[in-house]
Structure 1
Amino acid sequence: MAETAAAAAAAAEAASAETPPFQLGKPRFQQTSFYGRFRHFLDIIDPRTLFVTESRLKEAVQLLEDYKHGTLPPGVTNEQLWSAQKIKQAILHPDTNEKIFMPFRMSGYIPFGTPIVVGLLLPNQTLASTIFWQWLNQSHNACVNYANRNATKPLPASKFIQGYLGAVISAVSIAVGLNALVQRANKFTPATRLLIQRFVPFPAVASANICNVVLMRHNELEEGIDVLDGDGNIVGSSRIAARHALIETALTRVVLPMPILVLPPIIMSVLEKTFLLQSRPRLLLPVQSFVCLAAFGLALPLAISLFPQMSEILKSGVIPNVYHKPEQDDNLKETPIKGFCPKKRQTGPGNSV
């Protein structure tokens, strides 16, 4: 018994040593490396937080409040504090402190978005079903974007509507247009035509995502976005930083749907030729759903980990395009610009499939 207790204590001590010191409001993992960002976003999209009870949420919030005011009860570990922060960030909006509707949380994006991906990739789609699934996908994205919006610097409702309509129109137009072209291609065999049709959702969704980000954020190219110094102080705004942020966000939105909408058709075209699925066609939908879920679960954290939330811009490239705010002139004299620009919390990964 003594040996067991000693082993358990040693294991607990080792786990505690691996846990970084808790920092309120800061990421648990380093954001300077891809691996650190990947682990960070795995935490954010963890679907287990969907099952957190109201009492557990209150406990987590209270624990963070105690830490903030220096009244933590004895024995609270760093692991418990990180877990409490993860729960709070997964459920409550950081600006409004209100609960986010479960289907529109980042942790709910994969489980609630996978059925839509399956619908997008269904074979032999009609015109009506193509329009429906593309509309439903962009509507789900719009709801996720709005639920996770930056409420401290809100965009006008017209911007969201403009981005939503642009995304829906572009997605539906490209999907319908490409399907029509494939149907008219007489050189393809029926099997080849079906395979090509399965890849139509990707260019439709990717173009809609780019259209959405350009429509919603084009004003940043003219006005610039906030630039911070190395201490996190806002020192002005930069159009160069805005251009970098816009390009990286657009690239993320193109990369994200690629494995989700390209890998499943390839995998299913192989699996459908197996004896199991040919003899049991009823298994096709469950197998395709599992393949889509696996691709979604892998692609989401990988795509949103590509670029850091805070991008570093060379000082020489930022200064000519920084528009200083009068009340910050004194601060600028004392604090040099380090060249860090936030990409803003752009409605999370709902940026979307």
Structure 2
Amino acid sequence: MSHRAPRELRRAAANERGGAARGGPGGGGGCLKWRPQRAKGMAEPADYPPFQLGKPRFEQTSFYGRFRHFLDIIDPRTLFVTESRLKEAVQLLEDYKHGTLPPGVTNKEAIIHPDTNETIFMPFRMSGYIPFGTPIVVGLLLPNQTIASTVFWQWLNQSHNACVNYANRNATKPSPTSKFIQGYLGAVISAVSIAVGLNVLVQRANKFTPATRLLIQRFVPFPAVASANICNVVLMRHTELEEGIDVLDNNGNIVGSSRIAAKHALLETALTRVVLPMPILVLPPIIMSILEKTSLLRSRPRMVLPVQSLVCLAAFGLALPLAISLFPQMSEIETSRLEPEIAMATPSKTVIYNKGL
């Protein structure tokens, strides 16, 4: 058996075992990788930076680095990696940790290390977020929805999001299950309430023509989902606003617990959760309203749903890595902006904190 693990195999090790986990929507960290010795006479590919245990493969201070990092995390090809190939990738990391790496292993064989050894159910992996989430997006954007169908698709969307958040949680600091349940219920209630309320208002608006009413209804899912995402973040992480979150100096030492840093972390996370559904739920209605006027779809109405599915898939694939790459996982803040006791506790001008995702 070859000791070389393809890129999709490295990513599968994280998505399968639970710790892309800390690169997931509700996670709180990065990927762990190693720096194996290069074999003699073997050129190192430019695409594979030197491996460093505890650090992502790509530089996280730049948007492009974060974007490439998350492209690895959400790569759907990892869904098709076999169990035996996955075990091979995981074994490489174990060999490295015990200093028994086979000769000839290079940076190309890096494996993403999870927090736990749990296997994540395929639809809830980060690599499965787009392929399994796209049908839900298509359902959310179906025209002429009844109240029952609106409730169903909003509930299904928030249920899927909750399962992804829980499956990809940060396992290094376990959170009570009650927090996830609280966030889930709050998200479902807010999403359903807003979606149903807006649909009823649009239907009762006599000033709109049927065509205009239909177009407006297509945009209803966005405010409902965005509001639910904010509600989910606040409910699940409200204790951070009261207790604060750890801030660290340049050497990784904990300086203190800051409520101000917690506010910044929640704000950045909430903005990400608002930006994420924007292209997914706003672009497809605009594009479909244009395409449906073409002779191709007018003469072939059965093609509307397949075309809409492809448009939603493309929007989802674009929006997810862009949105979660907006802010660094480990954000930096000036100590002068934090509580006086924290500013006095370190000579560092800046400290870092884990914002979560």
The corresponding residue for 2:106 is: 77
The 2-side partners of 1:249 and 1:46 are apart by: 22
The corresponding residue for 2:329 is: 309
The corresponding residue for 1:263 is: 283
Give the alignment's TM-score, normalised by structure 2.
0.85
Q: Cα–Cα, structure 1 residues 305 and 321, in superposed 2: closer, same or farther, change >3 Å?
A: farther
The corresponding residue for 1:55 is: 84
Q: In the TM superposition, what whole-angstrom CA distance separates every residue of 1:230-288 from its partner, at most 9, and x where no partner exists?
A: 12222321111100000000000000000000000000000111111111111111100
The partner residue of 2:353 within 341, 344, 347 is 341
The 2-side partners of 1:172 and 1:18 are apart by: 45
Unmatched segments (≥5 aa) in structure 1: 1-11, 325-331, 347-353
Q: Does 1:276 align with 2:296?
A: yes
Higher-helix-fraction structure? 1
The corresponding residue for 1:289 is: 309
The partner residue of 2:56 within 23, 27, 41 is 27
Residue pair 2:336, 2:349 contacting (<8 A) in 1 also: no
Displacement of 1:69 in angstroms is 2.4
The 1-side partners of 2:247 and 2:106 are apart by: 35
The 2-side partners of 1:275 and 1:317 are apart by: 59
Residue pair 2:44, 2:107 contacting (<8 A) in 1 also: no
The corresponding residue for 1:167 is: 187
Residue pair 1:27, 1:40 contacting (<8 A) in 2 also: yes
Displacement of 1:130 in angstroms is 0.2
Q: Cα–Cα, structure 1 residues 197 and 227, in superposed 2: closer, same or farther, change >3 Å?
A: same
| Counterparts of residues 115-264 of structure 1 (less than 5 Å) | 115-264=135-284
Amino acid in structure 2 at the alignment position of 1:148? N
SS at match of 2:338: helix
Aligned length: 317
Q: In the TM superposition, what whole-angstrom CA distance separates every residue of 1:123-162 from its partner, at most 9, and x where no partner exists?
A: 0000100000000000111111111112222222221111
Q: Cα–Cα, structure 1 residues 149 and 319, in superposed 2: closer, same or farther, change >3 Å?
A: same
The 2-side partners of 1:284 and 1:13 are apart by: 52
The 2-side partners of 1:179 and 1:209 are apart by: 19
Amino acid in structure 1 at the alignment position of 2:67? F
The corresponding residue for 1:106 is: 126
Q: Cα–Cα, structure 1 residues 167 and 62, in superposed 2: closer, same or farther, change >3 Å?
A: same
Amino acid in structure 1 at the alignment position of 2:109? Q
Displacement of 1:70 in angstroms is 2.3
Which structure has the larger Rg over C-alpha atoms?
A: 1
The 1-side partners of 2:42 and 2:319 are apart by: 34
Q: Does 1:67 align with 2:96?
A: yes
Amino acid in structure 2 at the alignment position of 1:252? T
Percent sequence identity over matched residues? 84
The corresponding residue for 2:20 is: none
Residue pair 2:260, 2:339 contacting (<8 A) in 1 also: no
Q: Does 1:41 align with 2:41?
A: no
Q: How large is the RMSD of aligned CA atoms in angstroms? A: 1.9
Displacement of 1:101 in angstroms is 1.0
Displacement of 1:66 in angstroms is 1.7
The 2-side partners of 1:13 and 1:132 are apart by: 56
Displacement of 1:95 in angstroms is 2.4
Residue pair 1:263, 1:295 contacting (<8 A) in 2 also: yes
Q: Cα–Cα, structure 1 residues 270 and 13, in superposed 2: closer, same or farther, change >3 Å?
A: farther
Unmatched segments (≥5 aa) in structure 2: 1-40
